[in-house]
Every structure is written in structure tokens, then in C-alpha cells.
Structure 1
């Protein structure tokens, strides 16, 4: 975490994406800053004794619990995984092992490091690749230095992309180059889409053959070959483990659903799941394919609605490992209006930009935005309170016909007013079709 990310700055960043919930934002910011403070302590014995102050966020769905944790990880570039407590089962039952949350976190972190490493190598060897291809288009011995530079620039510009050239290729390297991109929070063991398999398939060895391919494909082939010869994935394993141990964040959602409830006859003991999660949070060693991981300095943020249970229904030992408990507020109409207008990359901005690609200039009046917020509140009260998530369904309904009719032949300006929103959401219609809004 960067030194400049003091608690006030962290909250300022969170304010760009999350409305209200000041108490929750303040507490997670302090927890993050304490991580940085701990790293500055030189006394190793004392340093090892300082563990994160884990947090339980209490509140209904759609008020920002997950978003707070996710944005926190993004701001600090921390390894992050979201898991659901209900997916895990007590040891001895069929189900997901609680240690898998740590294994998945390490896999995600390793894959992100791998993507960065490959991108670095692509930048490093791109010039070498262009040079190799240029020599195959016109042997350098046949042209003067000025012509060489012109040819190289033309290759870079894509002028020769469709021209065929002959390339000496290993017979086991026929797999096409696949563009590298991150896979987000999915714990995909392969991580980088196809690239490593392709690299391994073209590893030097076996008979060579001369093949014809386009210049564009030749550039990809030579770049892939340079990466395979220079990448060292083994060096990334200890880096991934260190990053997880020092900066990892595990968000455990629905923790209230594994709390003991009076009269519950759950087939798999909720308390058993709590007992299995406890050592992970207390601090234990988890064996992963990348090496062993200590968990005592990973930050755990738990969340739950706690409508049928309370944090005190959790095991006392587990409660003790979550010393900070923060209750989040139910969002009101004003909050919904701010979510639609003040946060970065809000829903209205997203739809405006989407439709702009189809020559539609979309805008909403202040009255329309307030009406959207009011309708979302009403639907939450009449059906089920899913918080700010309701806004997406309301806006989608309003823009349904517009998005279907686009693109238009010429530039079109559409302004959505309060009357337009009311017309679509007349309450007789809503009462007869509530099922349409149940997510």
C-alpha cells in the first residue's frame, strides 16, 4: 500500500463509488492503514504479534458491503477474493473445503502477476520481433541503413500485415497466438487465456519446417517464442505467496447464515463450518500448489444481513476474531439519487456511453432521476429489498424500447423526463407484473 494512502484519502477514494456508509468506510480505511503501519515496525517479534483487526459489516443486501471491500482491494492493489460462507461445509461432508478460499486467492494473485510479467516481456521483445520479421520481408543485406529504418517503421505500422512470408517453425508449434488478458476474480488455474499452453506447445525442439504465414501472424509467432524462452514462472510463486500473506483480503459474505439459530435443524452443522473457518482466521498454514501460505496477517471482512441471527450467535471464538462490527444504513431516496448522479461511472453514465455508440445522445432530467429513485424504493418495499441493485432493473425497463430500436440512421437526441418514467411505471402495471422485478 502506498504511503500516501492515509485513512482520509482512502475514504475519499471510496466516496467516488459508494454513497453513505461513512462509519464502514472509516473503519476499513483504518484497517488498511494499520497494515502499512505494521510494515514500518522494525522489531520482528512485535511485528509478528500485530494481526489485522477483522471486520463484520452488518446490513441488508445492496447497501454497499461487497462494494466497499472490492473497491478497497482495487485502491490498494491488494489480492482479493469474495466467497460465500454457505458454500463451505464441515469437514467430513461433501462440499467445499474452507482452505480453498486461500488456495483460490493465491491462484488469482499468481495469475495477475503472470499477466503483468508476460506484458512486460511483450514490451521488451516487441522491437526484436519487428526486426526479425522485417528481415524476412527484405533481407537486410540487400538494402541500405535508411531503407532498413523505413522498412522497420512500415512493419510496425501494419503496412505488411497481410503479406505472406516464409518462416522457419518448429513442427509442434502450430497453436495460434492468443491475446493475453486478466481473468478477473475467477480462480482459474490457467489464469492467462491460452497463452501458457501455446508457449509450451511451441517450446524449441523437434523438427523444423518452413511455413508460409502472414506478417501479422509471424509477428505474433516470434513474440510468443521470445516470451517462452525468457519467462520464468517459478520466480512468481514466492512473490504471489508473499503478497497474499502481507496484503491479502478475503471477503466472506453471508456469514450470518452459518450462525446458530434457535430451532434450526440444518443437516450440516453451522457450528461445524464456523469451527473450520476459525483456524484460517486465527492463523494457520495452508498448502497450495504454489507453496505454503500463512494466514494470520490476511485481512478478513465478513458481511451479512443478520435479520434472523445476530453476530452474538456466532461462536465466541469467531466473534473474537472480528473485533470491529459496523452496521450499514438502509439506503433512502436521496442516496439513490446520489448513486445515479455523483459516483464515478454510475449507471446513467454507463447507459449514456453505450447508446452513444449507436448515435443516441441520451439524457435524464432531474425529475426523471428522482422518479427512478422513488420507483426503486417502492419496488424494494413491495417485493424485496435488494438495495441499490434495484436501480439497474428500473433503468433497463425505461430504456428497453430505445435500446431495441437503436442504432438510428442519424444522430438522435433523447431526453427522458419524469412523465416518461411515470408513463412506463404506472402502478396498475407494476401491481400486475411484480414478478418481472424479482431478481
Structure 2
């Protein structure tokens, strides 16, 4: 409460110096509190001691590992952060959120929060490992640095099997944590993984590629879809961009065709197609401020015509 007391002391000095609109010589804290709540004192400046956010220690020590070292560094950081204070002269309006945050932190039992978080992670935790195929190498083409991918798999094996993992918050037991792995497996197969790792990932699900309908939904259903992003981007240049429904269907159709004929990169293809359609408008946007552009099916076909031809030819390039 030292920060609050210091703040009250400074406010009291302002009161006794005759700067308060209330004429009483004695500090009437009730009236003073009302002035504070009404914002009448927001422009007054006070000196406030706040934790120095610049005094931080790294959470990890290079080359060191283990519960003891990480926990020691974490507690040292917490201790030093709580001891180092910085005195600043700020207005009461700016001091309010700072003091509110400091007092809220004091009311949090961080040790109990950490304990509950570890317990929830151990009992209900889910770990999703994406692009696991990047550490899997085809047995027929394994050579050189690619052989190190097997070492990464061996490092993951005990964690997925169930072990005690050291973190800066304490030890976490992974026995009951659900691990989900995913990958495209274009240049390898799931069977190329270590046999032990395959045994720890017993349920295998193969997903179908995104089709035309899926790509259309991606273009329309998310709140911040690619179409909406392009419209807001053009709005910064005072250009009103309108996509008709048949234009959006054509965008999805083109993306699906290119994925099928060249390389299936999923929804990422939509970025390429949409950028190709709005490329000319975006390039000349500063010169066309205030105009409205409507993109229909024919506009999409004209913009991506050459793109589709190049996609067809790419299948025959060695």
C-alpha cells in the first residue's frame, strides 16, 4: 500500500497548499474522495513510485537446464522486480490505471495460481504439434543433416510417452496430457516415423483436401476473411471495393483448380488468387482515391487467365 499512501500524501499536500476548490482548512477525506471520483483532480500531478519494468532478468540461462536453475532465475526475477522502484511525476488520471493494476497484482496468490495451472495441465492438458512431418525423413532419401530429424523424434518420445518435464513454473507430469500431431506428409509417410513414436500415436486420421465449397466458406464465413481484409486495405486509400457473390465463387473455383493441377497448398492459395485480382487496383490506388470498384466473375477471369495458363504449363516443366 506504499504507492497508495504516497499518492494520498501528495494529494493531501495539494489540499493544504490551498489548491483544492473546497475551502475547509482541514482535509475532509470524504469530500476529497468524491472530487477524486468525479475526475476534478485528474489534471493534478503527483509523484508516484512504480515498479521499474526495465529491470528484468532472462528466464533461461544459456546451456543450463533443470528445475533448480529455472525456478531460481524465476524467483530472482520476481524478487528484483518487486524491489526496484522508479519515481515518476504523472497526472492522477494516468496514475489510476497503474495503481489499479498494482493493487490487483497484490491480491493475486501467484503460488496458488501456478499450482492450479500445473494441476489442470496435467489432468486436462492438450498439446498440438503441427507440421510434425518436417522432422520425418523418407528412409530411401535419408542422408546428411536429414538424419538429425530422428534425434528430434527421440527427444519427443519420452514427453509423449509420459515423463516429468521441467518448466520455470515447476515440474509437469505428461502422463495424462493428450498429444495431437499433424502434418501434410507430402515427401514422406507417417510410417517413416520412429516405430516407438508411431506406437504412442495410435489413432490416425486422414483429412481430405479443401474443395471448392470449403474455399468459398473460407472466403465468406470468417469475420476477418481475405475479402474483408482487402476491402479495409483499399479503404485506407479511400477506395470502395465490392466483390459480387459470383466473383467470390470464381475465386474459390480458381484456387481449387490450381491446387488440383499444380500443388495443393490448401487455403494459402486464396491469398495468391485474391492478390492477383486486386493487383492493378492496389498499384494505382493513390491515383484513384474516392472511386468505387466492383469485381465480378468476368473481372476475376480476366485477372487470373494468364495465371491459369502458367499453372497448366507448370505440370510439364521438369
Unaligned runs of 5+ in 2: 55-76
CA distance in 1, matches of 2:306, 2:288: 31
1:166 aligns with 2:51: no
CA distance in 1, matches of 2:300, 2:219: 15
**Matched ranges for 1:373-392 at <5 A:** 373-381=252-260, 383-392=262-271
1:258 aligns with 2:136: yes
Picking from 233, 239, 245, the partner of 2:116 is 239
Conservation of the 8 A alpha-carbon contact between 2:125 and 2:178: yes
Picking from 29, 32, 38, the partner of 1:153 is 38
Q: Cα RMSD (Å) of the superposition?
A: 4.2
TM-score by length of 2: 0.68
**Matched ranges for 1:117-136 at <5 A:** 135=11
CA distance in 2, matches of 1:423, 1:134: 70
> Which residue is 2:59 aligned to?
none
Conservation of the 8 A alpha-carbon contact between 1:278 and 1:317: yes
User: If you compute each CA radius of gyration, which structure gives the higher value, 1 or 2?
Assistant: 2
Picking from 284, 294, 311, the partner of 2:163 is 284
Give the stretch that moved more between structures: 323-332 or 226-235: 226-235
Conservation of the 8 A alpha-carbon contact between 1:355 and 1:362: yes
Conservation of the 8 A alpha-carbon contact between 1:133 and 1:219: no
Conservation of the 8 A alpha-carbon contact between 1:281 and 1:321: yes
Deviations 1:115-160 (A, max 9, x none): xxxxxxxxxx9xx89x9599466568556956753541226xxx83
CA distance in 2, matches of 1:279, 1:144: 63
Conservation of the 8 A alpha-carbon contact between 1:360 and 1:407: no
Deviations 1:207-246 (A, max 9, x none): x97x642233333443354356444433332223222212
Picking from 247, 258, 275, the partner of 1:396 is 275
TM-score by length of 1: 0.51
Task: Call closer, same or farther: CA 1:345–1:216 in 2, change over 3 Å.
Answer: same
The structural deviation recorded for 1:299 is: 1.2
Task: Call closer, same or farther: CA 1:311–1:370 in 2, change over 3 Å.
Answer: same
Conservation of the 8 A alpha-carbon contact between 1:380 and 1:390: yes
Q: RCO (CA 8 Å, sep 6+): is it higher in 1 or 2?
A: 1
